[in-house]
Amino acid sequence: MNTEFGPKIIVEFSNGVFITETVINTWIIMAVLVVVSIILTRNMKLVPDGKQNVAEILVGVLTSLVGSSMGKDKLGFVPYMGTLMIFLVCANLWGLVGFRAPTADLNTTFALSILTFFMIHGNSIRRKGVGGWLKGTFFEPVAVMAPLNLISEVATPVSLAFRLFGNIVGGMIIMALVYNALGTILGGVLPIPIFELGIPAVLHAYFDVFAGVLQAFIFTMLTMVFVSMAMD
Amino acid sequence: MEAITGKALILACSAVGAGLAMIAGIGPGIGQGFAAGKGAEAVGKQPEAQGDIIKTMLLGAAVDETTGIYGLVVALILLFANPLVGML
């Protein structure tokens, strides 16, 4: 059994800088998303048809989601939250195509959750000023609670990152174990992978499709809830 | 009988520790069951709000899954990226 579950290093430069599978897969997903959005929004007409309908439905769904969970006054967050959700759904489903999901790497999930962390506090300072932010974040029920509030603020990005990472990497490892186990059933007798045909599909539907889409939704939803709570 | 090496001892204890870490799965199991039960109750009371109830329930269930995921991460680190072996 292969006991290495970290991302493979693809290119390593002489000065020790290296590029992993995660970075390359992220760039492929970014390129796909950019090309798809350029194609969907070319030659836009007043009366939409075909591909423009798809783009309008997507934008409409994301706008109403952000509007209902953050409030109508924060619709300026639609581009970031929509991009975050579409990217995370694509990244989590990337494992289905046979590549390694970029979110199965702590670097990706921590980068996104640190963005969330700075968005929470930056927007809170922008909306309430430094004094209001200090009071609202640290001294909320009573001033004695400040150390506990500090810990809970720092725990937010950590728990966001570990939740996404743990779900995706756990599914990935369980799928690898299942494939290994199915491969050993017929091991040396028949070299044709019969058992790998149908059985893993059920598990892929749960670990990749259901858990992947749900975790992308949760990550975006929690980001929206935290940011709007910090601003109100 | 040959003597047990330090590395073998650490690996064996890590395997036991990974198993023990997964006891954390009990908590989210109970919590998610509770959330699902309350969700079913809420749908029974207000069938027309089913969409909102399912959305809220899945959000809550995924959030209280976090503690179980922490246990899973600890178990995975012990099994696949053990930091203790390097300390010998």
Q: Which two tokens stand for residue A142?
A: 């009573």
pLDDT given for residue A187 in this prediction:
65
Does residue B19 lie within any of the structural domains?
Answer: yes
Name the residue of chain A whose CA is nearest to B69's CA: A166
Indicate the pLDDT class of residue B15, thresholds 50, 70 and 90: very high
Q: How far apart are the first and last CA of chain B?
A: 23
Whether the complex's predicted ipTM surpasses the cut of 0.95: no
Does residue B87 lie within any of the structural domains?
Answer: no
Question: DSSP states of A18-52 as a string?
Answer: EEEHHHHHHHHHHHHHHHHHHHHTTT--SS--THH
Does residue B15 lie within any of the structural domains?
Answer: yes
Does residue B50 lie within any of the structural domains?
Answer: yes
Residues 6+ apart with CB under 8 A from A206: none
Does residue B41 lie within any of the structural domains?
Answer: yes
Angle formed at CA B22 by CA A109 and CA B79, multiple of 5 degrees: 70
Overall number of domains in chain A: 1
Asked if residue A112 has pLDDT above 90, the reply is yes
Does residue A26 lie within any of the structural domains?
Answer: yes
Asked if residue A214 has pLDDT above 50, the reply is yes
Question: Which of B58, B66, B80 lies closest to A3 in CB terms?
Answer: B80
**Residue that the structure tokens 């963005």 belong to:** A115
Question: DSSP states of A120-150 as a string?
Answer: HHHHHHHHHHHHHHHHHHHSSS-GGGHHHHH
Output B61 or B43, whichever has higher pLDDT.
B43
Does residue B88 lie within any of the structural domains?
Answer: no
Cβ(A155)–Cβ(A226) below 8 Å = no
Indicate the pLDDT class of residue A118, thresholds 50, 70 and 90: very high
Q: Which two tokens stand for residue A141?
A: 């029920």
Q: Which two tokens stand for residue A180?
A: 């290994």
Pairwise CA distance, residues A34 & A40, whole Å:
10
pLDDT tens column, A30-56: 999 999 999 988 888 888 888 888 899
Task: Identify the residue among A3, A213, A218, A221 best suited for mutation to test binding to B, counting B beta carbons within 10 A and taking the highest.
Answer: A218
Pairwise CA distance, residues A161 & A169, whole Å:
12
- Measured CA distances, A74 to A55, A70, A71, A156, B64 (Å): 21, 6, 6, 21, 27
Query: How much is the average pLDDT of B19-45?
Result: 93
**Residue B20 sits in a domain of what CATH number?**
1.20.20.10
**Residue that the structure tokens 């290994």 belong to:** A180
R_g of chain A, CA atoms, integer Å: 22
Does residue B3 lie within any of the structural domains?
Answer: no
Q: Using CB atoms within 10 A of its CB, is residue A36 exposed (0-12), middle (13-18) or buried (19+)? A: middle
Contact B59 A221 (CB under 8 A): yes
Q: Which residue range forms the structural domain that includes residue B75?
A: 10-82
Of the listed ranges A4-13, A17-26, A219-228, the least confidently predicted one is A4-13
Pairwise CA distance, residues B65 & A159, whole Å:
11
Pairwise CA distance, residues A230 & A125, whole Å:
9
B49 interfaces chain A, CB cutoff of 8 Å: no
- Measured CA distances, A16 to A11, A13, A25, A48, A58 (Å): 10, 6, 21, 51, 42
A173 interfaces chain B, CB cutoff of 8 Å: yes
Does residue A58 lie within any of the structural domains?
Answer: yes
Paired residues of A11 in beta bridges: A19
**Residue that the structure tokens 């600890």 belong to:** B74
Cβ-Cβ contacts under 8 Å, B69 against chain A: 162-163, 166-167, 170
Does residue A43 lie within any of the structural domains?
Answer: yes
Does residue B26 lie within any of the structural domains?
Answer: yes
Residues 6+ apart with CB under 8 A from B8: none
**Residue that the structure tokens 């289905």 belong to:** A96
Indicate the pLDDT class of residue A4, thresholds 50, 70 and 90: low
Overall number of domains in chain B: 1
Query: How much is the average pLDDT of B6-29?
Result: 91
pLDDT given for residue A2 in this prediction:
47
Does residue A66 lie within any of the structural domains?
Answer: yes
Does residue A3 lie within any of the structural domains?
Answer: no
Residue A62 carries which side chain, given as an amino acid letter?
L
Cβ-Cβ contacts under 8 Å, A170 against chain B: 69, 72, 76
Does residue A1 lie within any of the structural domains?
Answer: no
Pairwise CA distance, residues A206 & A192, whole Å:
26
Q: Which residue range forms the structural domain that includes residue A30?
A: 9-231
